Amino acid sequence: METPIIFIVLVLIGYALGSAKLINQGNEALVERLGQYHRKLKPGLNFIVPLVDKIVMEDTTREQILDIKPQKVITQDNIDVEVDAVVYWRIRDIERSFYAIEDLQGALTQVTTTTLREIIAQHTLEQTNASRTDMHSAIIVQLNEITGDWGVEILRLDLQRITLPESVRKSREEQQAAEIKKRALITEAEGEKEAAIKKAEGTMASVQIISQALRSNPDSRDILRYLVAQDYVDASQKLGESSNAKIVFVDPANSSEMFQELIAESVNNEGNGKKTENGNT
């Protein structure tokens, strides 16, 4: 009597062990009964009927990464580029991901590559570099229209690198160098223009100050003659320091008188201007 009981106990234990299935967190499993889909197993401890039920698939529902190897793509302006990308995706419906498509990973790779080529072919090289965010969104929308039937959702797509041909790369580098040089020349010209304006304004202010000094004190002419002569001496010394400079000697007295005549003319013009204003008044 004890042998049959032991046998029955062992059978029950084996049945219990064979029917118990533990599914890890983040995974789901599919069960077929006699060759047909029966039900889906959630994470935790589940029980099936041995010899009748069979687990045909267990996969993760967590986010996964699909690395798209470098692909040669032609842009709208007929430039061959090499593009590689990374796709982030996850299974939303494990039943459809198993029964609707034979090779899910391979199908995702193929459809992503085709869509990537199609979208880039609609953009020029400059647009591809400038509007990557918009391109990512367009690719994701188009991919999800296809992968939704497979129970898969495309979460993100990143274009990691866009490799240009050597000739195009050199041409772009030369273009950038020319643009930098152009901006430098413009900046230099604007600086010289501003310096010339400041110098002219300073000269005008100096002439006005000297004119006022000559009007208020006639003895200032001797001081002016000295300052002009000193400027000529300094200029001659600077020319003499250069080995290939030509030194031209100018009579400070004559030149100072010329400068004084210009100052006097400026003073007279200002005086006449004030008289005219007073007469009009």
Phi-psi region of 35 (alpha: psi -120 to 50; beta: other; left: phi over 0): left
Predicted confidence at residue 229, as pLDDT, reads 61
Average pLDDT over residues 12-32: 80
- Asked if residue 149 lies in contact with residue 100, where contact means CB atoms within 8 angstroms, the answer is yes
**Segment 66-108, tens digit of pLDDT:** 998 888 888 888 888 888 899 999 999 999 999 999 899 999 9
Let me know whether 176 and 218 are in one domain. yes
User: Residue 26 domain-assigned?
Assistant: yes
Identify whether residues 178 and 212 lie together within a single domain: yes
At residue 89, the pLDDT reads: 96
Q: Are residues 146 and 205 in the same domain?
A: no
Residue 274 lies in a domain: no
In a domain, 119, yes or no: yes
- For residue 177, being part of any structural domain is answered with yes
Q: Which residues pair with 236 in a beta bridge?
A: none
Residue 262 lies in a domain: no
Whether 280 is covered by a domain: the verdict is no
Residue at token pair 């599914």: 23
Do 110 and 48 belong together in one domain? no
Residues 151-181: pLDDT tens digits?
999 999 988 888 776 666 666 656 666 777 7
* 156 and 72 both lie in a single domain: yes
Query: For the domain that residue 135 is a member of, what is the CATH number?
Result: 3.30.479.30
Give the domain range for residue 122: 63-164
Select from 79, 68, 253 the least CA-distant residue to 161.
68
Indicate whether 41 belongs to any domain: yes
Can you tell me the distance from the alpha carbon of 218 to that of 220, in angstroms, rounded to the nearest whole number?
5
Model pLDDT, residue 13: 66
Cα 157 to the chain's mean position, in Å? 17
Q: Which of 229, 253, 276 is the last residue of a domain?
A: 229
Token pair listed for 72? 């040669």
**Is the same domain home to 135 and 216?**
no
Same domain, 44 and 22: yes
How do residues 204-234 score in pLDDT, each as one tens digit?
777 677 667 666 766 655 656 656 665 665 6
Query: Are both 129 and 159 inside the same structural domain?
Result: yes
* Together in a domain, 190 and 159: no
Domains of the chain: total: 3
Which among 114, 143, 164 is the end of a domain? Answer: 164
Per-residue pLDDT, 18: 67
Q: What percent of the chain has pLDDT over 90?
A: 25
Q: Hey, which of 160-174, 183-197, 256-270 has the most confident mean pLDDT?
A: 183-197
Query: Is the entire prediction scored with pTM above 0.75?
Result: no
Residue 195 sits in the same domain as residue 214: yes
Residue 279 lies in a domain: no
